[in-house]
Amino acid sequence: MVRNFFKKLHAHPRLEKIIKKYKIPQAHIGVNRKNIARAVFIGIFIGLIPMPGQMIVIIALIPFVRFNAPIALFTVWLSNPFTMPFIYYIEYATGSFFLGSHLSGVHMSVKWFSENFKHIFIPLYIGTLFYSSVLSFMGYYLVNHLWRRSVRKQKSNNTKQRLDK
């Protein structure tokens, strides 16, 4: 399932050409459980942080952490221009709940946002810390679980095939 999807994607001839042409190290595109799980963790964690240049942060982490960079870059796009307002509002609301604060008269305009930024900043980042941590760990463990389940299913199918012969 999950494992086979990534293995097939990695073996695509066009991707092989790009890897050879640009001499991309195998460590940054490796398709194994640990690399994919770390990539999902890093991508979700950084993708939920309200900041510009999320993809640049992923690229900056490449020399320090071993993970599948394309998967991490793809996962960062969970927070895209269409989903950002919803994600950040939920993060702000959660942070406000944790801090016991409330901001009334919320309007979706640049003027309102710039005037109230100092009131929004702390609750937004408290909510961001909560959701980034929880959802990235959930993504990490979900990938690990699905990968292991896929391996067990593959082994079970192989055993059945051998016994049927």
Flag the least confident range among 55-64, 103-112, 155-164. Answer: 103-112
Residues whose CB is less than 8 angstroms from the CB of residue 127 and which lie 6 or more positions away in sequence, other chains included: 90, 91, 92, 93, 94, 95, 96, 98
CA distances from 39 to 51, 70, 111, 120, 147 (A): 19, 8, 37, 30, 14
Task: For the chain, state the CA radius of gyration.
Answer: 20
Q: Where are the domains of the chain?
A: 2-157
Q: Please report, rounded to a whole number, the percentage of residues in the chain having pLDDT higher than 90.
A: 35
Span 95-118, pLDDT tens digits: 989 998 876 676 767 787 788 888
Phi, psi of 69 (to 5 degrees): -60, -45
- Give the model's confidence band at 8: pLDDT under 50 very low, under 70 low, under 90 confident, else very high: low
State the pLDDT at residue 56.
Answer: 92
Residues whose CB is less than 8 angstroms from the CB of residue 79 and which lie 6 or more positions away in sequence, other chains included: 47, 48, 54, 87
Terminal-to-terminal C-alpha distance of the chain: 24
State the pLDDT at residue 42.
Answer: 96
Flag the least confident range among 12-26, 61-75, 100-114. Answer: 12-26
